[in-house]
Amino acid sequence: MKREVLIMLAAVAVLAACASTTKPGVVGVQRQQLMLVSADTVEKMALVNYTQQNRDAQVAGKLVTKGAEYDRLKRVATRLQKHVTTFRDDAAQWNWQLALIDAPVINATCAPGGKITFYTGIVRQLKLTDDEIASIMGHEIAHALREHGRERVSRAYAQNAITSTALAAAPNSQAQLEAANAVAHYLYVLPNSRQNESEADAMGLELAARAGYKPEGAISVWRKMQALSQGKQPAEFTSTHPSDATRIKELTAMLPKVTPLYQVASRK
Ligand SMILES: [Zn+2]
Protein backbone atom coordinates (compact mmCIF):
# COMPACT_ATOMS: atom_id res chain seq x y z
CA MET A 1 0.00 0.00 0.00
CA LYS A 2 2.74 2.39 1.02
CA ARG A 3 4.59 1.67 -2.20
CA GLU A 4 1.46 2.31 -4.21
CA VAL A 5 0.97 5.66 -2.56
CA LEU A 6 4.55 6.61 -3.34
CA ILE A 7 4.18 5.59 -6.96
CA MET A 8 0.98 7.57 -7.15
CA LEU A 9 2.57 10.69 -5.72
CA ALA A 10 5.49 10.39 -8.10
CA ALA A 11 3.15 9.94 -11.05
CA VAL A 12 1.12 13.00 -10.21
CA ALA A 13 4.17 14.94 -9.08
CA VAL A 14 2.15 16.87 -6.58
CA LEU A 15 4.00 19.99 -5.75
CA ALA A 16 3.41 23.19 -3.92
CA ALA A 17 5.11 25.94 -5.82
CA CYS A 18 4.43 29.62 -5.59
CA ALA A 19 5.87 31.50 -8.53
CA SER A 20 4.83 33.31 -11.67
CA THR A 21 4.54 31.03 -14.71
CA THR A 22 5.28 33.86 -17.13
CA LYS A 23 7.50 36.88 -17.70
CA PRO A 24 5.69 40.21 -17.32
CA GLY A 25 6.00 41.67 -20.85
CA VAL A 26 5.25 45.38 -21.31
CA VAL A 27 1.79 44.85 -19.83
CA GLY A 28 3.41 43.78 -16.53
CA VAL A 29 1.52 40.66 -15.43
CA GLN A 30 3.46 39.18 -12.51
CA ARG A 31 1.17 37.76 -9.83
CA GLN A 32 2.55 34.77 -7.87
CA GLN A 33 0.55 31.59 -8.47
CA LEU A 34 0.00 28.63 -6.16
CA MET A 35 0.36 25.37 -8.06
CA LEU A 36 -0.38 22.04 -6.34
CA VAL A 37 -0.56 19.86 -9.44
CA SER A 38 2.21 19.53 -12.01
CA ALA A 39 1.93 21.14 -15.44
CA ASP A 40 2.60 17.73 -16.97
CA THR A 41 -0.40 16.15 -15.23
CA VAL A 42 -2.75 18.93 -16.31
CA GLU A 43 -1.45 18.84 -19.91
CA LYS A 44 -1.96 15.07 -20.06
CA MET A 45 -5.56 15.42 -18.90
CA ALA A 46 -6.19 18.29 -21.32
CA LEU A 47 -4.77 16.24 -24.17
CA VAL A 48 -7.18 13.39 -23.42
CA ASN A 49 -10.06 15.87 -23.78
CA TYR A 50 -8.62 17.53 -26.88
CA THR A 51 -8.05 14.20 -28.63
CA GLN A 52 -11.55 13.04 -27.79
CA GLN A 53 -13.09 16.35 -28.90
CA ASN A 54 -11.33 16.20 -32.25
CA ARG A 55 -12.13 12.53 -32.76
CA ASP A 56 -15.82 13.16 -32.09
CA ALA A 57 -15.78 16.12 -34.50
CA GLN A 58 -14.05 14.04 -37.14
CA VAL A 59 -16.54 11.19 -36.81
CA ALA A 60 -19.36 13.74 -37.21
CA GLY A 61 -17.64 15.18 -40.28
CA LYS A 62 -17.21 18.52 -38.50
CA LEU A 63 -13.44 18.75 -38.14
CA VAL A 64 -12.16 21.32 -40.65
CA THR A 65 -8.52 20.75 -41.60
CA LYS A 66 -8.24 22.71 -44.83
CA GLY A 67 -9.87 25.48 -46.83
CA ALA A 68 -10.05 29.27 -46.53
CA GLU A 69 -11.49 29.41 -42.99
CA TYR A 70 -8.93 26.98 -41.63
CA ASP A 71 -6.03 28.71 -43.42
CA ARG A 72 -7.09 32.07 -42.08
CA LEU A 73 -7.08 30.86 -38.46
CA LYS A 74 -3.83 28.99 -39.00
CA ARG A 75 -2.15 32.18 -40.28
CA VAL A 76 -3.23 34.09 -37.18
CA ALA A 77 -2.10 31.24 -34.90
CA THR A 78 1.31 31.05 -36.58
CA ARG A 79 1.89 34.78 -36.24
CA LEU A 80 0.86 34.82 -32.58
CA GLN A 81 2.97 31.77 -31.72
CA LYS A 82 6.11 33.58 -32.89
CA HIS A 83 5.71 35.90 -29.91
CA VAL A 84 4.87 33.52 -27.07
CA THR A 85 8.50 33.70 -25.90
CA THR A 86 7.76 37.26 -24.80
CA PHE A 87 6.05 35.60 -21.86
CA ARG A 88 7.78 32.23 -21.52
CA ASP A 89 10.74 30.69 -23.31
CA ASP A 90 9.61 27.06 -23.11
CA ALA A 91 6.38 27.79 -25.02
CA ALA A 92 8.39 27.92 -28.26
CA GLN A 93 8.85 24.14 -27.87
CA TRP A 94 5.21 23.38 -27.11
CA ASN A 95 3.40 21.15 -29.56
CA TRP A 96 0.99 23.88 -30.74
CA GLN A 97 -2.14 22.64 -32.49
CA LEU A 98 -5.23 24.19 -34.01
CA ALA A 99 -8.61 22.50 -34.33
CA LEU A 100 -11.43 24.15 -36.27
CA ILE A 101 -14.85 22.64 -35.63
CA ASP A 102 -17.74 23.41 -37.95
CA ALA A 103 -20.59 24.09 -35.51
CA PRO A 104 -22.77 27.10 -34.66
CA VAL A 105 -21.02 27.43 -31.32
CA ILE A 106 -19.72 30.79 -30.15
CA ASN A 107 -16.60 29.63 -28.44
CA ALA A 108 -12.82 29.39 -28.66
CA THR A 109 -10.34 27.88 -26.21
CA CYS A 110 -6.66 27.12 -25.80
CA ALA A 111 -5.97 24.06 -23.67
CA PRO A 112 -2.88 23.76 -21.46
CA GLY A 113 0.16 23.03 -23.60
CA GLY A 114 -1.06 25.08 -26.60
CA LYS A 115 -4.02 23.19 -28.05
CA ILE A 116 -6.29 25.76 -29.70
CA THR A 117 -9.92 25.14 -30.65
CA PHE A 118 -12.08 27.52 -32.68
CA TYR A 119 -15.65 26.98 -33.80
CA THR A 120 -16.84 28.32 -37.16
CA GLY A 121 -19.80 29.77 -35.21
CA ILE A 122 -17.73 32.40 -33.41
CA VAL A 123 -16.02 33.55 -36.62
CA ARG A 124 -19.16 33.62 -38.78
CA GLN A 125 -21.78 34.88 -36.35
CA LEU A 126 -19.60 37.67 -34.96
CA LYS A 127 -18.19 38.40 -38.45
CA LEU A 128 -14.73 38.54 -36.93
CA THR A 129 -11.97 40.52 -38.62
CA ASP A 130 -8.40 39.15 -38.52
CA ASP A 131 -7.60 41.67 -35.76
CA GLU A 132 -10.53 40.37 -33.73
CA ILE A 133 -9.61 36.72 -34.31
CA ALA A 134 -6.09 37.57 -33.11
CA SER A 135 -7.49 39.23 -30.02
CA ILE A 136 -9.61 36.22 -29.04
CA MET A 137 -6.89 33.74 -29.91
CA GLY A 138 -4.26 35.84 -28.12
CA HIS A 139 -6.47 35.97 -25.03
CA GLU A 140 -6.97 32.18 -25.07
CA ILE A 141 -3.26 31.52 -25.68
CA ALA A 142 -2.52 33.81 -22.72
CA HIS A 143 -4.69 31.62 -20.45
CA ALA A 144 -2.55 28.64 -21.52
CA LEU A 145 0.81 30.43 -21.15
CA ARG A 146 -0.20 31.68 -17.75
CA GLU A 147 -1.48 28.20 -16.79
CA HIS A 148 -4.75 29.49 -15.41
CA GLY A 149 -6.22 26.03 -15.97
CA ARG A 150 -3.56 24.48 -13.78
CA GLU A 151 -4.28 27.04 -11.09
CA ARG A 152 -7.95 26.14 -11.12
CA VAL A 153 -7.23 22.40 -11.07
CA SER A 154 -4.86 23.05 -8.14
CA ARG A 155 -7.67 24.78 -6.28
CA ALA A 156 -10.00 21.84 -6.98
CA TYR A 157 -7.25 19.50 -5.76
CA ALA A 158 -6.84 21.49 -2.54
CA GLN A 159 -10.58 21.16 -1.96
CA ASN A 160 -10.46 17.41 -2.66
CA ALA A 161 -12.74 17.89 -5.67
CA ILE A 162 -10.05 16.16 -7.74
CA THR A 163 -7.86 13.51 -6.14
CA SER A 164 -4.33 12.35 -6.90
CA THR A 165 -5.73 8.84 -7.53
CA ALA A 166 -7.90 10.20 -10.32
CA LEU A 167 -5.07 12.28 -11.78
CA ALA A 168 -2.75 9.24 -11.76
CA ALA A 169 -5.23 6.92 -13.53
CA ALA A 170 -3.67 4.66 -16.17
CA PRO A 171 -3.52 5.98 -19.73
CA ASN A 172 -6.57 5.11 -21.85
CA SER A 173 -8.44 3.71 -18.85
CA GLN A 174 -12.04 4.57 -18.07
CA ALA A 175 -10.81 6.13 -14.83
CA GLN A 176 -8.53 8.46 -16.78
CA LEU A 177 -11.35 9.49 -19.07
CA GLU A 178 -13.50 10.31 -16.06
CA ALA A 179 -10.69 12.28 -14.43
CA ALA A 180 -10.11 14.17 -17.69
CA ASN A 181 -13.80 15.07 -17.82
CA ALA A 182 -13.62 16.33 -14.25
CA VAL A 183 -10.56 18.41 -15.12
CA ALA A 184 -12.34 19.76 -18.24
CA HIS A 185 -15.01 21.17 -15.97
CA TYR A 186 -12.39 23.35 -14.28
CA LEU A 187 -10.64 24.18 -17.55
CA TYR A 188 -13.59 25.12 -19.74
CA VAL A 189 -16.94 25.22 -18.00
CA LEU A 190 -16.59 27.34 -14.88
CA PRO A 191 -16.25 31.07 -15.50
CA ASN A 192 -12.75 32.48 -15.16
CA SER A 193 -11.99 34.75 -12.24
CA ARG A 194 -11.91 38.48 -12.94
CA GLN A 195 -8.20 38.49 -12.11
CA ASN A 196 -7.40 35.70 -14.59
CA GLU A 197 -9.46 37.47 -17.20
CA SER A 198 -7.56 40.73 -16.70
CA GLU A 199 -4.26 38.88 -17.06
CA ALA A 200 -5.35 37.10 -20.24
CA ASP A 201 -6.67 40.37 -21.66
CA ALA A 202 -3.38 42.16 -21.02
CA MET A 203 -1.14 39.39 -22.35
CA GLY A 204 -3.41 38.67 -25.31
CA LEU A 205 -3.40 42.34 -26.24
CA GLU A 206 0.39 42.38 -26.24
CA LEU A 207 0.65 39.14 -28.25
CA ALA A 208 -1.72 40.44 -30.94
CA ALA A 209 0.09 43.79 -31.14
CA ARG A 210 3.51 42.13 -31.44
CA ALA A 211 2.14 39.88 -34.19
CA GLY A 212 1.02 42.94 -36.15
CA TYR A 213 -2.70 42.85 -35.36
CA LYS A 214 -4.44 46.10 -34.49
CA PRO A 215 -4.91 46.08 -30.68
CA GLU A 216 -8.22 47.94 -31.12
CA GLY A 217 -9.54 44.59 -32.34
CA ALA A 218 -9.84 43.63 -28.67
CA ILE A 219 -12.17 46.55 -28.00
CA SER A 220 -14.44 45.89 -30.97
CA VAL A 221 -14.63 42.16 -30.31
CA TRP A 222 -15.63 42.60 -26.68
CA ARG A 223 -18.29 45.12 -27.79
CA LYS A 224 -19.64 42.41 -30.08
CA MET A 225 -19.56 39.94 -27.17
CA GLN A 226 -21.35 42.45 -24.98
CA ALA A 227 -24.14 42.84 -27.54
CA LEU A 228 -24.32 39.05 -27.77
CA SER A 229 -24.58 38.54 -24.01
CA GLN A 230 -27.61 40.84 -23.94
CA GLY A 231 -29.40 38.32 -26.15
CA LYS A 232 -31.69 35.61 -24.80
CA GLN A 233 -29.32 32.68 -25.22
CA PRO A 234 -25.92 33.41 -23.71
CA ALA A 235 -23.13 31.91 -25.80
CA GLU A 236 -20.54 29.51 -24.37
CA PHE A 237 -17.84 32.14 -24.67
CA THR A 238 -19.76 34.88 -22.88
CA SER A 239 -20.73 32.51 -20.04
CA THR A 240 -17.06 31.82 -19.24
CA HIS A 241 -15.96 35.32 -20.25
CA PRO A 242 -18.26 37.95 -18.81
CA SER A 243 -18.02 40.97 -21.06
CA ASP A 244 -18.49 44.08 -19.03
CA ALA A 245 -17.65 47.74 -19.10
CA THR A 246 -14.65 47.15 -16.78
CA ARG A 247 -12.99 44.85 -19.29
CA ILE A 248 -13.37 47.32 -22.15
CA LYS A 249 -12.18 50.19 -19.95
CA GLU A 250 -9.07 48.24 -18.85
CA LEU A 251 -8.26 47.24 -22.44
CA THR A 252 -8.66 50.82 -23.63
CA ALA A 253 -6.33 52.04 -20.87
CA MET A 254 -3.66 49.54 -22.01
CA LEU A 255 -3.68 50.60 -25.68
CA PRO A 256 -0.91 53.22 -25.31
CA LYS A 257 1.41 50.50 -23.90
CA VAL A 258 0.98 48.09 -26.81
CA THR A 259 0.36 50.41 -29.78
CA PRO A 260 4.09 51.13 -30.25
CA LEU A 261 4.65 47.33 -30.52
CA TYR A 262 1.95 47.12 -33.20
CA GLN A 263 3.49 50.00 -35.14
CA VAL A 264 6.88 48.30 -35.48
CA ALA A 265 5.56 44.74 -35.83
CA SER A 266 6.21 42.54 -38.83
CA ARG A 267 3.02 41.43 -40.59
CA LYS A 268 4.37 37.96 -41.37
ZN1 LIG B 1 -10.58 34.38 -20.74
Beta bridge partners of 108: 118
Ligand 1 center from residue 117 Cα (angstroms): 14
Ligand 1 center from residue 4 Cα (angstroms): 38
Ligand 1 center from residue 185 Cα (angstroms): 15
Ligand 1 center from residue 122 Cα (angstroms): 15
Ligand 1 center from residue 6 Cα (angstroms): 36
Ligand 1 center from residue 13 Cα (angstroms): 27
Measured from the Cβ of residue 234, the count of other Cβ atoms closer than 10 Å reads 13
Ligand 1 center from residue 226 Cα (angstroms): 14
Model pTM score? 0.90
Is residue 204 a contact partner of residue 257, using CB atoms and an 8 Å limit? no
- The pLDDT, as a whole number, for residue 10 is 46
Give whole-number Cα distances, 35 to 102, 118, 125, 194, in Å. 35, 28, 37, 19
> Exposed, middle or buried: residue 257 (CB in 10 Å: 0-12, 13-18, 19+)?
middle
What does the pLDDT profile of the chain (268 residues) look like in tens digits? 455 555 454 445 445 667 889 999 999 998 888 899 999 999 999 999 999 999 999 999 999 999 999 999 999 999 999 999 999 999 999 999 999 999 999 999 999 999 999 999 999 999 999 999 999 999 999 999 999 999 999 988 888 888 888 888 888 899 888 988 888 888 887 778 889 999 999 999 999 999 999 999 999 999 998 888 777 666 778 777 776 788 899 999 999 999 999 999 987 6
